[in-house]
Amino acid sequence: MNNPDPIAVFKTEALEQLELIEAGLLDLTRDLEDKAQIDAVFRGLHTLKGSGSMFGFDQLAAFTHHCETAFDRVRKGEAPATTELVSAVLDAQGHMLALLQTPNGDHEAMSAKLLDNLHRAVGGSAKAATQETAAAEQSGSMADTSAAGLSTWELTFSLPLNSMINGTNPLGLLDELRELGEAQVEALSDNVPPLEEIDPREIHVSWRVTLKTDKPRGDIEDVFIFVMDDMVMDLKQIATAPAAVAKKAPAPATDIATDAAKQAAANAADASKAPQQTDAKSQKQADNVRVPALRLDEMMDRVGELVIAQSRLSQMAGSAADLGLRSVSEEIERLAGELRDTMMVLRMMPVASLFSRFRRLVHDLARETGKDIELITEGEMTEVDKTVIDRLADPLVHLVRNSVDHGLETPEDRIAVGKSPVGRVHLSAHQTGSEVVITIKDDGRGIDRARVRAKAETNGLIQPGAQLSDQELLQLIFQPGFSTAEKVTNLSGRGVGMDVVKKTIETLRGAIDVKSNPGEGSEIALRIPLTLAIIDGLLVRVGSGRYVLPLSAVEECLELSLEEDLKSRGRSFISLRDDLVPFLRLRELFRTGTQPDPFQKVVVVSTGSERVGLVVDQIIGDHQTVIKNMSKLHDHVSAFSGATILGDGNVALILDVGHLIAAGQHQEAQLRAAG
């Protein structure tokens, strides 16, 4: 099983989140004015609420919402951070843990008591607001339960042959089904082999169950949650009790009908696929080994060190005259390269595991907002490094929520502007070169540039009337505390989500592109490097320092001729096949204080359409670069994205191409402005 149970994944992540919240609160007890901690706690609560409701931990989400509201007021300076508040939220944090461990338990008395404490700590005005939302949430959940009527399901399922060996008890499953409602069970013995071939440890029987229950489909499927991956199951709804339909208001009725139709369609598709999949799966199963991620990480570290040692060896062998040594070194270089590639593949996971989380989210969002939403996913089989997948989950939740909450209009508004009433959120992934691009696209109203500008001006993010390019203006939405939503909803509008997105993508050394056409929707593309650990680099020398450029960004290398050098004193451009390319003298940028080498080289680097030339003293050659992150103490040095260790044990810094290009274009703009 490559895909861990998403609920378990969420629990682990939520536990981490709770730990962070706790740590932040504890820090706050020491220093109540600590703005960074207040933000951190708030972000933690926000994420916990978001992912909690996504995985159906509704009690947890509703409860966390109150704490979040309280902290939001503190963050905005509307209420002071008091010891009472911090300790009330600390108590609440303990309770959240309980809500997480036993999501279906009875926590209401405790929740109410803690919320009371919280309200007393915050003061009156917040109370009214939170109660209002609480009431709204309750009425929402009431509607939900009354919508489910008694329906009859026909369920056929068979388990894999070896499932009893794995500890599955089919009788237990049947008992659980019986608990859901009135069930008739029929055993299908068609596949039972002759007596002499029977292995008593294998299951050859399959079952057909007719079940009358008022529980939703999800509950029936939950019975099989631990065996779902390998079993063949066919679940059909035969009839719905008419009384239940009559009770529903007209609008939700159509809603549910379309849902049911969709589900049926999906089900049919699944059913047709299922048998082949199981065949393939049961064959493959024997060959699969489950390895804890930690061991993979350890192995990755070892491979990283091996690659460093190997590049040391090849440097030594290169300068030695011994032919035998050279051939051994080359052999080891090849092997280390192959080992590295194998290691990379081991860590790759299809993004499907990431995307699958969003079906539930979109479903719930549609219910909460009353919008009709269709989620389309594409390119699920694109593979990305495991760490990237883990870290992308949060930003994607925020982006999808934003698309739904801010982007998509209500069905009435959509019809009014001539669009289909069903809003579409398109989630896709594809690979280009050494990057993976994950795109979240909606066909909503698009980003209102005038409102973004107005908001940024009132927040003091930009000067009134400042000249901004379209992209710069759109990028403002990723600033901390920026939100154009006029009212705070349970979903978004607090302006934290987007800066979480930006921070996470930056730590992954990725970039964000925003496109938006008013009335047609917006598209946010996250460009993330395929791997975080090892890249092919080009080693260059500037002054006495050595630097690494990611080879994937290098377009070409050429010599800076003496006359171009002299000519370009005033206007740092070189002409490259009739194109003017701005260039940066790294020697000046880094203030090396050394004399330039007589024959300087230009390395032309690019990201997509933009390029810049970097003048270096010497191009040393290609280098297998094991990326090491720089510490927080060097956070503010934006010219470098990391560091690596060279063959001789020295450290070389890795140049951040995106930053250098921005610097180059800045210079270009300045020169243009100067005439």
Of 399-407, 489-497, 560-568, 649-657, the window that binds another protein (rule: CB under 8 A) is 649-657
Extract long-range pairs of 220-228: CB within 8 Å, 24+ residues apart.
220/153, 220/155, 220/177, 220/180, 223/173, 223/176, 223/177, 223/180, 224/157, 224/173, 225/5, 226/168, 227/159, 227/160, 227/163, 227/168, 227/173
672 binds another protein (CB under 8 A): no
Task: Write out the binding residues for another protein, residues 562-601 only, by CB under 8 A.
Answer: 584, 589-592
In whole angstroms, how close is the CB of 12 to another protein at the nearest point? 19
In whole angstroms, how close is the CB of 640 to another protein at the nearest point? 7
For every residue of 183-223, DSSP letters joined together read EEEEEE-TTPPPGGG--TTS---EEEEEEEESS-HHHHHHH
- Non-local (6+) Cβ contacts of 203 within 8 A are 158, 159, 160, 161, 163, 164, 170
Q: Which residue has the tokens 């029987």?
A: 205
C-beta separation of 213 from 151 below 8 A: yes
By rule CB under 8 A, what count of residues binds another protein?
35
Nearer to another protein among residue 577 and residue 636 (C-beta):
636
Nearer to another protein among residue 189 and residue 631 (C-beta):
631
Nearer to another protein among residue 62 and residue 511 (C-beta):
511
Report DSSP state, residue 406.
I
Nearer to another protein among residue 160 and residue 550 (C-beta):
550
Strands 610-616 and 579-585, bridge-based pairing: parallel
Q: What's the chain's Rg over C-alpha atoms?
A: 30
Report the residue from 267, 374, 628, 665 that binds another protein according to the rule CB under 8 A: 628
650 binds another protein (CB under 8 A): yes
Nearer to another protein among residue 432 and residue 544 (C-beta):
544
Report the residue from 652, 657, 658, 668 that binds another protein according to the rule CB under 8 A: 652
Nearer to another protein among residue 400 and residue 646 (C-beta):
646
Report the residue from 168, 353, 600, 644 that binds another protein according to the rule CB under 8 A: 644
Nearer to another protein among residue 666 and residue 672 (C-beta):
666
Nearer to another protein among residue 325 and residue 589 (C-beta):
589
Report DSSP state, residue 630.
P
207 binds another protein (CB under 8 A): no
Task: Write out the binding residues for another protein, residues 164-183 only, by CB under 8 A.
Answer: none
Report the residue from 141, 238, 638, 672 that binds another protein according to the rule CB under 8 A: 638
C-alpha angle with apex 394: 389 to 398, nearest 5 degrees?
Answer: 130
CA distance 526 to 435: 10
**Hey, what amino acid is at 342?**
T
In whole angstroms, how close is the CB of 489 to another protein at the nearest point? 30
Of 8-16, 274-282, 395-403, 656-664, the window that binds another protein (rule: CB under 8 A) is 656-664
284 binds another protein (CB under 8 A): no
26 binds another protein (CB under 8 A): no
Nearer to another protein among residue 476 and residue 653 (C-beta):
653
Nearer to another protein among residue 151 and residue 572 (C-beta):
572
Of 211-219, 358-366, 521-529, 648-656, the window that binds another protein (rule: CB under 8 A) is 648-656
Nearer to another protein among residue 112 and residue 309 (C-beta):
309
C-alpha angle with apex 543: 540 to 549, nearest 5 degrees?
Answer: 25
Q: Is 1 helix (H, G, I), strand (E, B) or coil?
A: coil
Greatest alpha-carbon pair distance for the chain in Å reads: 93
Q: How many CB atoms lie within 10 A of CB 646?
A: 18
Tokens of 469: 């390019």
431 binds another protein (CB under 8 A): no
Share in percent of the chain as helix, strand, coil (round to 5): 50, 20, 25
In whole angstroms, how close is the CB of 28 to another protein at the nearest point? 13
639 binds another protein (CB under 8 A): yes
Report the residue from 8, 30, 33, 36 that binds another protein according to the rule CB under 8 A: 36
660 binds another protein (CB under 8 A): yes
Report the residue from 339, 348, 659, 665 that binds another protein according to the rule CB under 8 A: 659
In whole angstroms, how close is the CB of 651 to another protein at the nearest point? 4
- By residue count, the chain amounts to 675
Buried b (16+ CB within 10 A) or exposed e, 582-619: bbbbbbeeeeeeeebeeebbbbbbbbeeebbbbbbbeb
Task: Write out the binding residues for another protein, residues 498-557 only, by CB under 8 A.
Answer: 545
Report the residue from 112, 261, 415, 651 that binds another protein according to the rule CB under 8 A: 651
Nearer to another protein among residue 101 and residue 629 (C-beta):
629
Q: Is 440 helix (H, G, I), strand (E, B) or coil?
A: strand
- Catalog residues that contact another protein under the rule CB under 8 A: 23, 36, 305, 308, 545, 584, 589-592, 628-640, 643-645, 649-653, 659-660, 663, 666
